[in-house]
Amino acid sequence: MSWETVIGLEIHAHLKTRTKMFCRCATGFGAPPNMLTCPVCLAHPGTLPVANRTAVEWTIKLGLALGCDIVPHAVFHRKNYFYPDLPKGYQISQYDEPLCVNGRFAVPGEDGDLEVGIVRAHLEEDAAKTVHLEGAGGRIVGATRSLVDFNRGGTPLVEIVTQPDLRSSDEARRFLQLLRQTIVELGISDAEMEKGTLRCDANVSVRKAGEEGYRTRWELKNMNSFGFIARGIDAAVRAQVALHEAGREVVQETYDYDADADTLTPHRSKEEADDYRYFPEPDLVPVEPEQALVSRLRGELPELPAARIDRIGQELGVSDAWALVTTGRDSQYEALVEADVPGRPAFNFVMNQPIPEGANLRELARIANATDLTRASLDAAVAASADPGFSADPFLEQKAVSDTAELEPLIERILAANPGQVAAYRGGKEGLLGFFVGQAMKETGGKANPKVLNELIREKLNA
């Protein structure tokens, strides 16, 4: 009997509002330490928070994109715990009355949609950043000093919690990729894992196939890339299956995934106790979004990535549409198709060339449709495609040499000059074909049509 993986995710994304969640300090990544602060976010006595309206509206927008219900009455709570990066001694978050609940997010796949339940999406403020000096990997263990940078403290943060509906590390990775693309396209967050503006924790357990209910889970924290999340989950699954099969107990625990060593290490938690003594934030009124506001925000939603994958997937197949959309190249693809490049060549063109921002895609479509360009002129055209006044014409004139009458004497000469390689090829070393093609390309200054060249040389060698 085989084991089934059960994964639920908790995702945090920084909202890129101009100002912080409860004060008017600017938000920003990379500013000198402690420059983006004020008495409110430093928790001086007597200061009062005021909720950021844009952050509330963006969270509603995200909730709608995730298929959530937007509640008529949401409440900010104080989540109490002590840590140096939390000057108030509590974080303002949402508890039992979050803004968005009961969503469903469909992840397109070759075998139909993977439906992932969304428990909630709520709004809170981020803590400041603690920097541990001289510890291993920036962690507190072995550190000699710790410094706090309050710039991040008070940055608006949405937290999204999924149902335990994901059944493999690959499903978790795909869900996250699509969620990230959705957040980015809503224009509410840069959602960059390497900058910490998107963070993900995973709750992982295993159970026997067909088993009802869930077994004890582990929480994996601090995984900062899609690849690490998948590998961290796989490591947890392997370890839990081994424990169960040895008849041992899986104890509920929080782990950090060490990508370098591919191991899980117990997380030294700043909140050992689970009791945060939540209570309603007395300095903030409840959030009561009017129906008209929710309708307006719903009307402002763009076509979402999942819908676009389905639509383009009808032409190309779902996995190619997935590759286009999750790398943000679908708008280039659609512009080329609009300019009469057929779907498949348009896909290959945008996936194979690094097309610059602001490229003239209408002109570039003429390049994409030309089948007889040299590699060099194709690259040069793409590189110049964002220049003002870019025209495909001069590049289209640089056609590759496909004329066999011109190429044949050249090939004869190369074969005659390399009798050893010719004999080796004829003796079975067919990999040497590339050597002859390379020689011919060199002699023509890269202008030969590689397809014609390949055919001609193979013909001569096999003659």
List of residues contacting Zn ion (CB under 5 A): 23, 25, 38, 40-41
Count CB-CB contacts under 10 A for residue 311: 14
Cβ distance to Zn ion smaller for residue 44 or 208: 44
Spatial CB neighbours of 405, under 8 Å, sequence gap ≥ 6:
none
Comparing CB distances to Zn ion, the nearer of 25 and 56 is 25
Per-residue burial over 87-108, b = 16 or more CB atoms within 10 Å of its CB, e = otherwise: bbebbbbbbebbbbbebebbbb
Spatial CA neighbour of 109 closest among 63, 61, 177, 206: 177
CB of 286 to Zn ion, least distance (A): 23
Residue type, 349: F
Give min distance, CB of 127 to Zn ion, in A. 14
Parallel/antiparallel/unpaired status of strands 145-149 and 156-162:
unpaired
Per-residue burial over 13-34, b = 16 or more CB atoms within 10 Å of its CB, e = otherwise: bbbbbebbbbbebebeeeeeee
Q: What's the closest the beta carbon of residue 156 comes to Zn ion, in angstroms? A: 12
Radius of gyration of the CA atoms of the chain, in A? 29
State the Cα–Cα distance between residues 81 and 84, nearest whole angstrom.
10
In the complex, minimum distance from the CB of residue 237 to Zn ion, in angstroms, rounded to a whole number? 42
Query: CB 244 → Zn ion: shortest distance, Å?
Result: 49
Report how far residue 115's alpha carbon sits from residue 426's, in angstroms, rounded to the nearest whole number: 56
Distance CA 367, CA 280 (A): 61
Tell the smallest beta-carbon distance from residue 38 to Zn ion (Å): 3
Nearer to Zn ion (CB atom), residue 38 or residue 106: 38
Token pair recorded at residue 46: 């007597």
Q: Are 330 and 355 in contact (CB under 8 A)?
A: no
Closest contact distance (angstroms) between CB of 130 and Zn ion is 18
Other residues' Cβ atoms within 10 Å of the Cβ of residue 249: 8
Q: Which is nearer to Zn ion, 41 or 382 (CB)?
A: 41
Compare residues 23 and 86 and give the one whose CB is closer to Zn ion.
23
- How many angstroms separate the CA atoms of 179 and 458, rounded? 49
CB of 22 to Zn ion, least distance (A): 8
CB of 282 to Zn ion, least distance (A): 20
What is the rounded CA–CA span in Å between residue 249 and residue 86?
A: 36
Q: Nearer to Zn ion by C-beta: 38 or 284?
A: 38
In the chain, the amino acid numbered 230 is A
Nearer to Zn ion by C-beta: 55 or 401? 55
CB atoms inside a 10 Å sphere around CB 230: 20
Q: Which is nearer to Zn ion, 30 or 427 (CB)?
A: 30
Q: Which is nearer to Zn ion, 27 or 203 (CB)?
A: 27
The count of other CB atoms within 10 Å of the CB of residue 77 is 23
Distance CA 41, CA 19 (A): 11
